[in-house]
Amino acid sequence: MSYELYYWDGLQGRGEFVRLALEEARADYIEVARGNEAQGLGTGAMLALLNSKREACPPFAPPFLRDGNLLISQTANILFYLGPKLGLAPADEGLRYVANGLQLTIADVVTEVHDTHHPLASGLYYEDQKDAAKIRAHDFIDNRIPKFMHYFERVITQNYQSDAHLVGDKLTYVDLSMFQLIDGLHYAFPRATRHFGEHYPLLAALHDAVAARPNIAAYLTSERRLAYNESGIFRHYPELDKAAR
Amino acid sequence: MSYELYYWDGLQGRGEFVRLALEEARADYIEVARGNEAQGLGTGAMLALLNSKREACPPFAPPFLRDGNLLISQTANILFYLGPKLGLAPADEGLRYVANGLQLTIADVVTEVHDTHHPLASGLYYEDQKDAAKIRAHDFIDNRIPKFMHYFERVITQNYQSDAHLVGDKLTYVDLSMFQLIDGLHYAFPRATRHFGEHYPLLAALHDAVAARPNIAAYLTSERRLAYNESGIFRHYPELDKAAR
C-alpha cells in the first residue's frame, strides 16, 4: 500500500524533507493535498483529517504520514519511522538515535530560518514585522549559521566511518535533509552563503553529492519538486540577506 | 550503570523534561554538570565533551544523555530512547511514534516560550529586545497558547483509551512533559493562565494528577528540583504577561 504524505500544496516547506527520502528510495507515495478532489484527495481531505473529532491523536499540523492505520506527525518523527523501511537509516540501532539527534538539530535550524521572516508572530504578515525580521535575519547570518554549520562540518569530520556522511558509513535521510537545508539557505541568503564551500567544504561536498544521486537528480528536475517561493520556509527577501561577517 | 544526564547547572531548562521521567521511574542517574570537579564531574566535564575533537557525533547542545557508549542528544530523542527502558512509553510500537509526535509538538511550544523573551536573537540580552518581546509574548498568549492547548485538550478527549492521558491507557513521559509545560506556563504567565482550568479541564487535571504522583511529589519538594528562575525557559517578566483575550 502507498504511503500517504500530507502537506500543504504550493510550497516545499517541511514536507520536502520527507519527500526527499521517499524519492531517493523510489517509494510508492501519494501527495494527498495535491491530489484530485474527485478521488477524495486535495487540501480539503487533509483539513478534514486535521479537524477530525474521531481520529485518535490527530496531528497538530502538516506534514504527517499515513501508513496503514498509523498516523505519524512531525517531520523528524516521520523520518525516524520511515528511515529503516526505506533503507535510509543506519543499520546499528544506537546510531539511529544519533541520526535522530542530528535530524532534530536540523529541525531547530529550520525553525530559526522560519523565524528570520516571522520573528514576532507567525500569524502576522512579513510586511508587518520587517524591521524585527531584519535584526533577526542578520543575527542568524552572523551568529547562528556559523554556529550550526561549524557544528555539522565537525560532525562529518569526526565521523570515523566516513567523510561523506553525517552518520555511519552510507547515505541516510539525515544527509538528504542536510542537502535541503544547505540548498534552502543558498536560495534565501545568496550573499550570506556566497563563500559557503570555503568555510564548510565537507558540507558543500555532501550537498553536491546528494544533488547528483540519480533518483534525487531526477526528482529535482521533475514537476514534483516545486520551486522555492515566498510562501515556504526558505524565502528570499533581499533586505534580510547580507554578506557573512 | 547509572545514566549520565548532561545539562546546565542552575536552571531547569530542557533538562527538566528528562529529569521528570528519570525521577518518576526512580532511575539511577548522575547530574554531570552539578557534580563535583574532584570526581571528574561539573560544568567543565560537560563542556569538554561538547567541545571534544575525538567524540564521534558530539551533541550540539545540552541536554544530552550518556548510556554506556551511547551519547544521545535532543530532549525528545532522549525521552524516546529512555521511555521503554523506564516503563514510561506505550507498549504498542505504533503508539510510540504517536507519543514522539506529541513530544515534538510540546518541544515546539517550549521553543516558542523561549522566543517570547528572546524574539530577535538568543545571544542578545532580554533587556535589549524588550519591545519585540512584548509583541511576541502577547501574540503567544492571545493566539499560540489557545491553539496549542485546545489541540492537546482535544488529544486527551479523543484518546479512546483514557481521559487522563495523552496517549494510551497509562502514564507516559509525554504526560510528565505536559505537566512541566503547563506548570512552566503558570509560572511565566500567571495572568494569562488564571482561567486555565476552566478552558482546559482535562489538561489541568492531568497536571494535578502528575504533581500528586508519589515519586514526582517527592522530587518536586526535593533539592534536586531547582526553582524556576529568569535564566530558564519559563521566565516571569510581568511586562510580558497579560490576561488572556
Residues of A in contact with B58 (CB under 8 A): 154-155, 158
**B97, B158, B159, best to mutate vs chain A, most A CBs in 10 Å:** B97
pLDDT under 70 in chain B at which residues?
none
Contacts of B139 in chain A (CB under 8 A): 120-121, 123-124
| A245 confidence band (pLDDT: 50, 70, 90) | confident
- Interface pTM, i.e. ipTM: 0.97
Q: What residue of A is the nearest CA neighbor of B120? A: A136
* CATH number of the domain encompassing residue B21: 3.40.30.10
> Which of A104, A120, A151 is closest, CB to CB, to B77?
A104
Do B49 and B104 lie in a common domain? no
* Same domain? B29 vs B48: yes
Measure CB to CB from residue A120 to each of B58, B60, B135 and give the nearest one.
Answer: B135
Final residue of a structural domain among A86, A115, A132: A86
| Residues A16 and A105 grouped into a single domain | no
Tell which of A55, A86, A117 closes a domain: A86
Q: pLDDT at position A29, please?
A: 98
| A165 and A106 within one domain | yes
Restricting to A residues 30-69, those with a Cβ less than 8 Å away from any Cβ of B are 53-60, 64, 69
Among residues A70, A86, A102, which one ends one of the domains? A86
Which tens digit of pLDDT belongs to each residue from A93-150? 999 999 999 999 999 999 999 999 999 999 999 999 999 999 999 999 999 999 999 9
User: Does the distance separating the beta carbons of B98 and A121 come in below 8 Å?
Assistant: no
Kindly state whether residues B107 and B212 are assigned to the same domain: yes
> Are both A68 and A101 inside the same structural domain?
no
Tell me how many domains chain B contains: 2
How far is CA A158 from each of CA A82, A167, A168, B55, rounded to the nearest angstrom? 26, 10, 11, 7
B167 and B66 belong to one structural domain: no
Of A80, A98, A136, the CB nearest to B120: A136
Report the pLDDT value the prediction gives residue B60, as an integer from 0 to 100: 98
Q: What is the pLDDT of residues B106-129, one digit of tens each?
A: 999 999 999 999 999 999 999 999
Q: Measured between CA atoms, how close is B42 to chain A, in angstroms?
A: 23
Query: Residue A224 domain-assigned?
Result: no
Nearest CA of chain A to the CA of B145: how many Å?
13
State chain A's mean pLDDT as an integer.
97
Indicate whether A124 and A177 sit together in one domain: yes
- Same domain for A205 and A99: yes
Tell me if B201 is assigned to some domain. yes
A204/A129 same-domain check: yes
Domain range spanning residue B217? 93-240
Is A73 an interface residue toward B (CB < 8 Å)?
Answer: yes
Chain A 143-202, CB below 8 Å of chain B: which residues?
A: 143-144, 148, 151, 154-155, 158-161, 166-167
Question: pLDDT by residue (tens digit) across A12-69?
Answer: 999 999 999 999 999 999 999 999 999 999 999 999 999 999 999 999 999 999 999 9
Residues B81 and B114 in one domain: no
Which residues of chain B are within 8 Å of residue A158 when distances are taken between CB atoms?
Answer: 53-58
Within-domain flag for A63:
yes
How many Cβ contacts (< 8 angstroms) between chains A and B?
133
Chain B residues near residue A151 by CB distance under 8 angstroms: 60
A77 & A100 share domain: no
Q: Is A209 a domain residue?
A: yes
Question: Is A175 inside any structural domain?
Answer: yes
pLDDT digits (tens, 9 = 90+) for A182-229: 999 999 999 999 999 999 999 999 999 999 999 999 999 999 999 999
User: Does A9 reside within a domain?
Assistant: yes
In a domain, residue A168? The reply is yes
* Within a domain: B26: yes
Domain containing A120 — which CATH number?
A: 1.20.1050.10
Cell of B166: 495523552
Give me Rg for the CA atoms of chain B.
18
Q: Virtual CA dihedral for A92, A98, A101, A105, nearest 10 degrees?
A: -120
